[in-house]
Amino acid sequence: MHPDLSSQYIFISGAGRGLGRAVARHLARCGAVVGVSDIDAAGCEETVRLVRDAGGQAHGFPGDLSQRATFLEVAAEFAKVGKRIDAVVNNAAHLRYEKVEDVTQETFEKMVSIGLGAVVWGAQALLAHYDAGRGGAIINMASPVAYRGYPNTSIYSSIKGAIVAITHTLAAELGPRNVRVNAVAPASVPTPGALQYVDSAEYERRARTIPLRRIGREEDNSNAIAFLLSAEASFISGTVLHVDGGAVASA
Ligand SMILES: NC(=O)c1ccc[n+]([C@@H]2O[C@H](COP(=O)([O-])OP(=O)(O)OC[C@H]3O[C@@H](n4cnc5c(N)ncnc54)[C@H](O)[C@@H]3O)[C@@H](O)[C@H]2O)c1
């Protein structure tokens, strides 16, 4: 049985493909009205279509969410739908793996502005539109790379380390305002972003070494997020939920 998220208005960044799209589809199945946003307008539109075809409620908001003004503008548009936003899932990221000496200023700024900046803008968007009486929730996307060293991922891993820190910080800062802040740390899900850098041989290797002996699935992550957004998680804040088959625990 799915958690009941009916009457929740949930904004999801980077929902035009990959984990974000799967989260949008799943939260809508749980009854949420989802705001689907992505820099890729066609992907955004397709996610909205998939949710609606399955009988769910979705609204699309294409835009570059690394820009504060854009994030706050599209979130304000979504807030008009239900007169509030109950939760924001800060999922968007620009994934790039390369040797540290190859990182350009442009790559650094692009990755940090969406990977970390948009998490700040997402928190601001939630605070601008949530109902303090009902409470609000923020979900950030961490990763096992925040906990152990993976060569050639210096910027990506630094961002994910910062995600863990900002999750703790905002849980402490916003708890008194009835906002819960948590993160999930999924592992090894073959999404379009990940498949640029991880081939099938590497996924097979991981499936042999992850304690639960398989790689991650989109639904593992979506189920964890739905739980964290549900009433059953009402006293959970400041946690990072590892959805990785035991990978970090065994590293
Ligand atoms: N796939 C995995 O195994 C895995 C593991 C750990 C963490 N994560 C995290 O999960 C999240 C989703 O990852 P994914 O694998 O689905 O990646 P993905 O690259 O397939 O999807 C990312 C989405 O973000 C969007 N995006 C990028 N820049 C944007 C911008 N400026 N404005 C708006 N949207 C933008 C992209 O267009 C894309 O649709 C990321 O935060 C990632 O770090 C993924």
Nearest one of 84, 82, 46, 83 to 62, comparing CA atoms: 46
Which tokens go with 144?
């096992």
Span 190-220, pLDDT tens digits: 999 999 999 999 999 999 999 999 999 999 9
Q: Is the CB of 211 under 6 A from ligand 1?
A: no
Reply yes or no on domain 9-242 having CATH 3.10.310.70: no
| Residue ranges for the chain with pLDDT beneath 50 | none
Map out the domains of the chain as residue ranges. 9-242
DSSP 159: H
Which mutation among 12, 91, 109 tests ligand 1's pocket best, with the greatest number of atoms within 8 A of CB?
Answer: 91
The sign of the torsion formed by the CA atoms of 136, 157, 219, 249 equals negative
According to the model, what pLDDT value does residue 138 have? 99
Q: How far apart are alpha carbons 66 and 92 in whole angstroms?
A: 9
Cβ(14) – ligand 1 distance below 6 Å = yes
Q: What is the pLDDT of residue 208?
A: 96
Q: Which residues contact 235 (CB under 8 A, 6 or more apart)?
A: none
Give pLDDT, residue 139: 99
Cα–Cα dist 71/152, whole Å: 30
